[in-house]
Amino acid sequence: MSKKITHIYKRDGSLVPFEKDKVTRAIYKAAAEIGGHDLELSQSLSDKVVAILENDFPKEIPSVEEIQDIVERVLITEGHDRTSKAFSAYRQKRKELRDKRHSGKVSHLPYKNAWETLWWNIDHSCETVEKLNAHVKNGTFPKLVSASERRYSEEISNIALAVEEAKKRGVKVVLIAGPSSSGKTTTTDRVGKILGKRDIELMKLNVDNYFYDKDQHLHDKYGDIDWEGPEALELPLINEHLKDLVEGKTIHVPRYDFKTGTRIKDQTDELSVRSDQMILIDSHYGLYDKLTENVPSGFKFGIYLEPLTQLKRLNGDFVEWTDVRMLRRMIRDLLHREFDPTKTVGHWHYVRRGELKNIIPYIENANYIFDTSMAYELPLLKHCLFAFMPSTVEAYKNDPERQDAYVRAKRVYRLLNEIEEWTGGDSVVPHNSIMREFIV
């Protein structure tokens, strides 16, 4: 049942009457920026925005930001990509003006970053499977790799600048967080190197060393262990060590062997941090409150990472972000944890459950959000994984208790079937690329 939108929430939380004409004017001005002056078309597009608000939007009273998001969505789906980009640029300029007047955390969510990625893909002719495959077939794939890497490097520089500004405000701990296989390790390392050149000392605390031994975890009936929740980490010890580091004390970090699933006995690494240094942590749960609850919020700067892949499949659906990360992790587990890719697919329900419970709800704690997708990665991932996929699908096909794994395996197998494999070797990928975490 449709509803009538009569009011909206402004950014300051105040309730004001909804005026459709403002939506029309915003669309018209964005179109005018690129030479379009069709008021009738602008009115038609604003009608579509209102229709979504009244028929499909779950809230009775939307916010200004939510309406603007729908405007961008309508412009994209109706084929007005350039107008959508102009509208987004206007929003960004307004945001920058607000940021100069106010301090605090960013308010955007990952799907907003996804729009930026979509526009970048459109500009580089790789927003569909067909166009991505054309890069492989026509020999322009290396150019796409170079362009994607430049985009990533520019964003790394932006993050480093944001951390530098945070240090000036007295921040002591930088948290790089995000769901599995988002590229936290490479991003952490590269941010650290840039800041090092700016005379900002970083000291990395790898919380993966704080996993409990595998015999301290419950096993399911398949012998699998849920490593994906923060409870798999010794949180009290992490907090104790963080508190000591912030206070200038020395700690002894345990060493963890992922091949055996145990801490290495009688081996620790001594660690301390000077007053002019910052502690750097990359962890799925970096934004999880209890991971750093002993550190005052004013001493922390949170960065959220996730590959927000924007690629339309042959059936018109967009590739699911979680599928890209699962493909990445299948390779990483094979290389570094001696996991067969089939086992990774079967384990993925633990990953998703942990993300939805302990990662996604804490995105609002981030000061910066970064899309780590690479437009060129699927042809490379196919080269590394495709041979494993038929047996992975078969492994779960006739198991009524593992149909979740079967559905996942079948879905990514179909995806890889659509992708043109890159067989030209990995020399096109820079040595410091985020993709070096996920290719053989």
| Reported confidence tier of residue 226, pLDDT bands at 50, 70, 90 | low
Segment among 274-283, 365-374, 431-440 with least mean pLDDT: 274-283
Quote the pLDDT of residue 233: 84
Pairwise CA distance, residues 238 & 207, whole Å? 7
Residue matched to tokens 């659509």: 418
Mean pLDDT on 327-351: 89
Quote the pLDDT of residue 155: 95
Quote the pLDDT of residue 103: 44
Query: Which pLDDT tens digit goes with each residue over 98-146?
Result: 565 444 444 345 777 888 999 999 999 999 999 999 999 999 999 999 9
User: 198-237: string of b/e by CB count within 10 Å (b at 16+)?
Assistant: eebebeebbbebbbbeeeebeeeeeeebbbbbbebbbbee
Quote the pLDDT of residue 11: 74
Quote the pLDDT of residue 35: 64
pLDDT greater than 70 at residue 417 = yes
Segment among 31-45, 163-177, 201-215, 367-381 with least mean pLDDT: 31-45
Whether residue 202 contacts residue 278, with contact meaning beta carbons closer than 8 Å, is answered with: yes
Top-confidence residue, 217 or 179: 179
pLDDT greater than 60 at residue 224 = yes
Mean pLDDT on 24-45: 78
| Reported confidence tier of residue 94, pLDDT bands at 50, 70, 90 | low
Write down the mean pLDDT value for the chain: 88
Helices (H), 34-80: 39-55, 64-77
Quote the pLDDT of residue 360: 86
Whether residue 162 contacts residue 278, with contact meaning beta carbons closer than 8 Å, is answered with: no
Mean pLDDT on 408-420: 97
Mean pLDDT on 320-332: 95
Mean pLDDT on 253-275: 89
| Reported confidence tier of residue 222, pLDDT bands at 50, 70, 90 | low
Pairwise CA distance, residues 69 & 88, whole Å? 9
Whether residue 357 contacts residue 229, with contact meaning beta carbons closer than 8 Å, is answered with: yes
Top-confidence residue, 86 or 413: 413
